[in-house]
Amino acid sequence: MSDAVPMDALPTLAQVRDAAARIAPHAVVTPVLRSAVLDALAGTELHFKCENLQRGGAFKFRGACNAVWSLTDEEAARGAVTHSSGNHGNALALAAATRGIPAHVVVPEGAVQAKLDAIVRAGGTLHRCAPSQAAREAMCAEVQARTGAVLVHPYADTRVMAGQGTVALELLGQVPGLDALVTPVGGGGLAAGVATTAHGIDPSLGLFGAEPQGADDAARSLRAGERVTDVVPDTVCDGLRALVGLRNLGALREHRVDVVTVSDAETVAAMRLLWQELKQVVEVSSATVFAAVLKEPAHFAGRRVGLVLTGGNVDLDALPW
């Protein structure tokens, strides 16, 4: 990537295709599942892209893997670093392991032990910090300075967005004739990657985002015409609490992504239906997409809809129902 291009520029379709080739030896081509019962409930035709079956249990592996394999040999030798207490940290550790390079993951105090264990199992090195954005960034900068590791931001990174965009490339190849796509919106790495990819392939596709009401900064930002940053997240969807990135938001606006907000109760009910009928273990953040379809049937009636189920890393001892 040339120095003249900002690291968080939106990816082009060509970059997404390159990413797909780059990650192909390492990533899972995840299946697309259907359910007659869920179709009947939604009154439309639903195609669920099961990224809960991706390596590491979440789509995050795509972006992390593309970033790791985009590094020059010299960069790679110094390793990669990120801050994440969730799926991205684990994804980076797994991706780094595929290239045999170090992964440093900055995690705030209070992160879930099971997730930390997974990062260590994947070969990552943990760096603890205080649970604030400032402390995370400071620790990240310190690790970068000390090790020379390359920062791989969870969503505001072109390589990561291009990797996440491969979900759309793959889904549109698996299910010809889709009319609309729905992804959750957190930091916006997936939503932006999918939007640029999908419209690069078919500009007539309807694009939707699903956002928790308790972390609705993207919906508010689109309404306000500028990035709203004073949202204090309050939602059970632990994967969707990040504020949407500036360029990610730009992609949502440019591609006219319609963001539907859903309550936690609606999301938990949708999650339960996905477990019961689709037989998939998906995490609560993933269920926002199905909750959005159930909430706004008029948006989806008579359309063939692709929904990205983003991950399946759950604590089986603390189910939300």
Q: Which stretch binds a second copy (CB under 8 A): 181-189, 197-205, 231-239, 272-280?
A: 272-280
Residues 162-181 that bind a second copy (CB under 8 A): none
63 burial (CB, 10 Å; 0-12 / 13-18 / 19+) is buried
Write down the least CB distance from residue 92 to a second copy, Å. Answer: 17
Query: x/- binding map, residues 275-294, to a second copy, per CB under 8 A?
Result: xx--xxxx------------
In the chain, the largest separation of any two C-alpha atoms, in whole Å, equals 56
Among 47, 49, 55, 159, binds a second copy (CB under 8 A): 55
Q: What are phi and psi of 151, to 5 degrees?
A: -70, 130
Residues 7-36 that bind a second copy (CB under 8 A): 31, 33, 36
- Residue whose tokens read 């639903």: 46
Q: Rule CB under 8 A: say whether 298 interacts with a second copy.
A: no
Considering beta carbons, is residue 229 or 276 the nearer one to a second copy? 276
Q: Rule CB under 8 A: say whether 317 interacts with a second copy.
A: yes
Q: Rule CB under 8 A: say whether 134 interacts with a second copy.
A: no
Q: How far apart (Å, rounded) are the C-alpha atoms in residues 223 and 203?
A: 22
The tokens describing 238, both together, are 């632990």
Q: How far apart (Å, rounded) are the C-alpha atoms in residues 92 and 150?
A: 12
Q: Which stretch binds a second copy (CB under 8 A): 62-70, 83-91, 201-209, 313-321?
A: 313-321
Q: Rule CB under 8 A: say whether 100 interacts with a second copy.
A: no
Write down the least CB distance from residue 295 to a second copy, Å. Answer: 22
Write down the least CB distance from residue 144 to a second copy, Å. Answer: 30
Q: Rule CB under 8 A: say whether 124 interacts with a second copy.
A: no
Q: How far is CA 68 from CA 89, 94, 149, 190, in A?
A: 13, 10, 11, 17
Instruction: Count CB-CB contacts under 10 A for residue 38.
Output: 22
Considering beta carbons, is residue 176 or 225 the nearer one to a second copy? 176
Q: Rule CB under 8 A: say whether 120 interacts with a second copy.
A: no
Q: Rule CB under 8 A: say whether 110 interacts with a second copy.
A: no
Write down the least CB distance from residue 251 to a second copy, Å. Answer: 29
Half-sphere exposure (Cβ direction) of 156: Cα atoms closer than 13 Å: 11
The tokens describing 294, both together, are 């159930």
Q: Which residues contact 276 (CB under 8 A, 6 or more apart)?
A: none
- Residue whose tokens read 């801050």: 83
Q: How far apart (Å, rounded) are the C-alpha atoms in residues 42 and 24?
A: 33
The binding site for a second copy (CB under 8 A) comprises 31, 33, 36, 50, 52-53, 55, 57, 272, 275-276, 279-282, 312, 316-317, 319, 321
